[in-house]
Amino acid sequence: MIIIVTILVAVMLAAAVAAFVFKELLSAVLAACLVSLIASILFLFLQAPDVAMAEASIGAALVTAIFVIAIKRTGKREE
Amino acid sequence: MRTTVSIVLLAVVILGFGLSLLDVPFAERKSQIGDYYIVNGRDQTGATNIVTSVVLDYRGFDTLGEITVLFVAALGLGAVMAAAGGRRERPSTTEPPSLVLRTGTNVLFPLLILFGVYIFVHGHLTPGGGFQGGAIIASAFLLVYLCCRERRINLARKTAADSLGGIVFVGLGLVGLAVGSRYFLSDFLPKGSLDTLFSAGMIPIIYIAIGIKVGAELAGVIDDLLEETE
Amino acid sequence: MTFLHNYIYYIGALGLVLIGLLIVLAKHNLIKVIIGLSILDTGINLFIIAVGYIREGTAPIFSEPGLEPGRMVDPVPQALVLTSIVIGVAILALALGLAVKLHKEYGHLDLRKIKELRW
Amino acid sequence: MVSPALLIAVPLGLAFAVPLIGLASRKAAQYVPVVASLFNLVVSVILIPQALDGPIVVHIGGFGPPFGIMLFAGPVGLFMSTLVALAGFIVSIYAIASIKTGPTTRYHTLYLLLLIGATGLVLTGDIFNLFVFFEILTISSYALVAYHGDRGGLEAAAKYLVQGAVGSSLILLGIGLLYGLTGTLNMASIAAAVGPVTSVSVFVAMALIVVGLGVEAAIFPLNAWLPDAHSSAPSTISAILSGIAIEVGLYAVVRVVFTVFGASSMLLFLAFLAVLTLLVGEMCAFAQHNIKRMLAYSSIGQIGLILFAVALASSASVAAGLFQLLSHTLSKVVLFLAAGYMIHRSGSTEISSLEGMGMRMPLTSLAFAVAAFSLVGLPPFAGFPSKFLIIRTAVAQQGALFLVLVGLVLFGTVIEGTYFFRVVQAIFFKKRDSQPARDEAPALALVPMFLVVALIIAIGVYPDAITGLLDSAAAELLERAQFIRSVLG
């Protein structure tokens, strides 16, 4: 169990760093979406199913969707 | 330069915060309040999902504030997007959606709505509630926008659902102030028997109101952001 | 191993807070900054939930008979985080709306070059 | 018996109803904030005598502290909520005349929600609930700053939003840490649990919350957003942001530092920051050519002055600080509202373009001048007794350090006097070559301004009318043990 959690946290932090590094905004948003998804799994491990559900449906799905809509209407790349 | 300064600044913040975490041991009980809710929550509120009883009864005032925050943001987004001009017709996508996408949307849309409704109606029994259900309803609308860009939600109906959801919540709270124990937002309805759909006093009613309100607001947010796409 | 047991969730949460703040402070693109805010929010939520966890706990839902109240995790942080997630999406939506409008005015979102208001 | 919960519930119900009303009639929507703030004004004033006998503690939902959320309507809370309702009422009347373009229904709803956020923030007794109302206040201000949709407004709103969002994240982080440390969210039980213990972790939690709130309160160096936001917003919103929002933010900082944490060791540091804020604000204001930016920087200076008085932490100085808060709110509301119509008539925000306004809009100019004199601290206006009391109580503090700080404060107020006299002189005594005809602001804008002007003069002449309320408000802020007892019994 602890090993799975450690791996998940490592992937989550790597995804967050990726969101920092990526110049392509869509990729950065997808990385942030991955962060949210893994966080939602961690919420489930921490016995918070309500929060996991909210994070998955709001934090991961809807937020990513509105990010993608906004990026489509603005620049695709940083700078 | 700016990056270096920010890293130094953050290092200080995180160091201080990390040090103070030593006083917050992981996986130990920190609060008597949580215990009180777990022990008394079922009797006092009638909900088997204690998180729901905290969200809607013990800390219901926070939730009233929370739906107000979402209301503010949806209105504010509408005001910002509408500042330059009025509501415009959205041009339909250049190529018509394929049959598969259209049929899929038509099949999935009612199912998603039904699922969202299920989630918020059962908020007091199972994980989930008005916010999660509302988000699922909004994603059903998102699906429709992906398929057929030119479809718009009915502005008047959206506004009505949005407003009525809020008014029901505040109204129930004011009724609680007028009757029964005379506290704002106090639960004056009978609790019913545990673990049945019609139980937990006004929790299901409020979650239905919140679900409809949140669904309407989030769908409106998507609609506003899609406005006048070139 | 005990170190990981005790601190892995805190490390994850603090890492997200750190990276989120770093993105907000060091990046100049408004959309990127908003992505940073979203990561920051996720980190804080994870931290608050981790505060409420107890060892070998169960979810605070009496979904089946025989669940011990003494082993349920603290429901208060979960209620707080539900609120905070919704507040987070509210801020993000408004911020993205502003970004779309700003892009319409300026044609770019570089905060260094958006400087009308200087005296 | 009236419950303080009505101060939030009734306006909130009305705010949810505004979009529906707006669907039926756009005209009707603009009267809702007037009605709601008038209701709040009346209820707050009715409740004040009761609160002077003892604070009114309301348990929301019928769950006693620390299990439920409570409202704490003591003298401070009701003083602030009266002020919010008064300023809100004045500005909402003015808005009927001045807000004509754009999505007006949304404007009026957001405006009402901003007032609700401010009212809830000053009345709540629960720290997470404070965060929620803080978000209502700030998010509605982000949206309202960008209301006109011009470049300046959008830019200011975006910068305000980013800084404000980071600030509120820090608050949330601090609240999470505090819950981990004390296991409660009720302010009184946190105060009881934190007690006299001062560990690193409690300090970190306090620092996070104070820094986050300090962004909204515009304490130096967290105030980079303020001049942009206050000068780019519509004038009604500038008035309410300068007159209400930052004061409410300051209230939250003071409540957290004094009541929740009882951090007397922080006070000297706060006094230093306050003097710094004052000097930075006044000096920047002096350098401005844009009238709204000048007023915005002057607000920063005034916040510094108020915080300085409060940080001295004697009962007289806290009362003086609250008095200054009152007189600043009254003056700044009139200044922004009057400047709004002058800018509208002259078409430019430059101070030089206001020359000759004394002839063109004599009544508006008169209101502007009275408010400016009051802010500078001239008798017989409300600003005189408040500023005088601050200086007197500061000198009464023993110690050379305080004398130096008082000297700096006096220096700041001299600068303030200089730039305000410069503007008043431009308005009344500079002649234009081609004098435009008289062109007064409409009655709907003049009446609210002169209501406040009358109040400024009335308080300036009879300051004793409110000193009783201010003294017991100061006592409430300073006596932490009393606060804990009145909540937890």
Contacts 24+ apart (CB under 8 A), D201-205: D201/B19, D201/B20, D201/B21, D201/B22, D201/B23, D201/B24, D201/D177, D202/B20, D202/D261, D204/B16, D204/B17, D204/B19, D204/B20, D204/D174, D204/D177, D205/B20, D205/D174, D205/D175, D205/D177, D205/D178, D205/D181
∠ CA B172-B177-B181, rounded to 5°: 110
In this structure, is residue C87 part of a structural domain? yes
Give, rounded to a whole angstrom, the gap between the first and last alpha carbons of chain D. 22
* CATH code for position C13: 1.10.287.3510
Q: In the prediction, which pLDDT does C19 show?
A: 93
Q: In the prediction, which pLDDT does D196 show?
A: 63
Q: How close, in Å, is residue D283 to chain B by CA atoms?
A: 26
Q: In the prediction, which pLDDT does B86 show?
A: 47
- The total domain count for chain A is 1
DSSP code string of A12-60: HHHHHHHHHH-SBHHHHHHHHHHHHHHHHHHHHHTT-HHHHHHIIIIII
In this structure, is residue D459 part of a structural domain? yes
C-alpha B165: how far from chain center: 11
Average pLDDT of chain B to the nearest whole number: 83
Quick check: B76 and D13 CB within 8 A?
no
User: Alpha-carbon torsion C107, C111, C115, C116, what sign?
Assistant: positive
Quick check: C76 and D139 CB within 8 A?
no
∠ CA D477-D480-D483, rounded to 5°: 85
Beta bridge partners of B145: none
Q: 121-140 in B: which are within 8 Å (CB) of D? A: none
In this structure, is residue D257 part of a structural domain? yes
Q: In the prediction, which pLDDT does A79 show?
A: 67
Does residue B18 carry a pLDDT above 70?
yes
Amino acid at D464: D
Chain D residues in contact with C91 by the CB 8 A cut-off are 135, 139, 161, 165, 168
Domain region containing D134: 6-488
Calculate mean pLDDT across residues B185-190.
78
Quick check: B62 and C75 CB within 8 A?
no
User: Residues 6 or more apart from D417 whose CB is under 8 A from it?
Assistant: D376, D377
**Which residue is closest to C92 within chain B, CA to CA?**
B73
Three-state secondary structure call for residue B123: coil
Reading the block at residue D375, the tokens are 């802010």
Chain C residues in contact with D142 by the CB 8 A cut-off are 94, 98
pLDDT tens across the length of chain A (79 residues):
889 999 999 999 999 999 999 999 999 999 999 999 999 999 999 999 999 999 999 988 899 999 999 998 887 777 6
The CA distance from D22 to D15, in Å, is 11
Reading the block at residue D326, the tokens are 């009152």
pLDDT band at B84 (very low <50, low <70, confident <90, very high): low
In this structure, is residue C61 part of a structural domain? no
Chain C residues in contact with D156 by the CB 8 A cut-off are 117
**Option in B51, B135, B222 nearest A57 (CB):** B135
- The total domain count for chain D is 1
Whether the link from the prior residue into D66 is cis, omega within 30° of 0, is: yes
Q: In the prediction, which pLDDT does D197 show?
A: 59
DSSP state at residue B27: T
In this structure, is residue D162 part of a structural domain? yes
In this structure, is residue A78 part of a structural domain? no
D98 in Cβ contact with D236 (< 8 Å): yes
D123 in Cβ contact with D66 (< 8 Å): no
Q: Please, what are the averages of pLDDT over each run of 10 residues along chain D (489 residues)?
A: 87 92 85 94 93 89 85 93 95 90 89 95 94 95 91 90 94 93 91 78 90 90 88 92 94 92 85 93 92 93 94 91 95 94 88 85 92 92 93 86 89 93 89 75 91 95 91 91 87
Residue D45: phi and psi, rounded to 5, are -65, -40
Does residue B92 carry a pLDDT above 80?
no
Three-state secondary structure call for residue B151: coil
Three-state secondary structure call for residue D350: strand
Element (H, E) at D29: helix D26-29
Q: Is B82 exposed, middle or buried (0-12, 13-18, 19+ CB in 10 A)?
A: middle
Residue B19 at interface with chain D, using a CB cutoff of 8 Å: yes
Residue B77 at interface with chain A, using a CB cutoff of 8 Å: no
Quick check: D102 and B177 CB within 8 A?
no
Quick check: C89 and A62 CB within 8 A?
yes
Chains with 3 or more CB pairs closer than 8 angstroms to D? B, C
Quick check: B139 and A62 CB within 8 A?
yes
Domain region containing A6: 2-73
In this structure, is residue A52 part of a structural domain? yes
Q: 66-85 in B: which are within 8 Å (CB) of D? A: 66, 68-69, 71-73, 75-80, 82-84
∠ CA C12-C40-D120, rounded to 5°: 125
- The total domain count for chain C is 1
In this structure, is residue D1 part of a structural domain? no
D88 in Cβ contact with D240 (< 8 Å): yes
Considering only A50-64, B186-200, C40-54, which range has the smallest mean pLDDT?
B186-200
∠ CA A11-A16-A19, rounded to 5°: 125
Q: In the prediction, which pLDDT does D256 show?
A: 93
Closest CA to B221 of A26, C86, A20: C86
User: Residues 6 or more apart from D25 whose CB is under 8 A from it?
Assistant: none
Chains with 3 or more CB pairs closer than 8 angstroms to C? A, B, D
In this structure, is residue D393 part of a structural domain? yes
Q: In the prediction, which pLDDT does B230 show?
A: 41
Residue D393 at interface with chain C, using a CB cutoff of 8 Å: no
Per-residue b/e over D56-80, b at no fewer than 16 CB within 10 Å? bbbbbbbbebbbbbbbbbbbbbbbb
In this structure, is residue A11 part of a structural domain? yes
∠ CA D368-D374-D380, rounded to 5°: 120
**Option in C37, C80, C101 nearest D165 (CB):** C37
Q: How close, in Å, is residue D444 to chain B by CA atoms?
A: 25
pLDDT band at B123 (very low <50, low <70, confident <90, very high): confident
Does residue B166 carry a pLDDT above 80?
yes
To test the contact with chain B by mutation, choose from D25, D32, D43, D63 the residue with the greatest count of B C-beta atoms within 10 A, namely: D63
Q: How crowded is the C-beta side of C86, counted as CA atoms within 13 Å? A: 36
In this structure, is residue C73 part of a structural domain? yes
D299 in Cβ contact with D246 (< 8 Å): yes
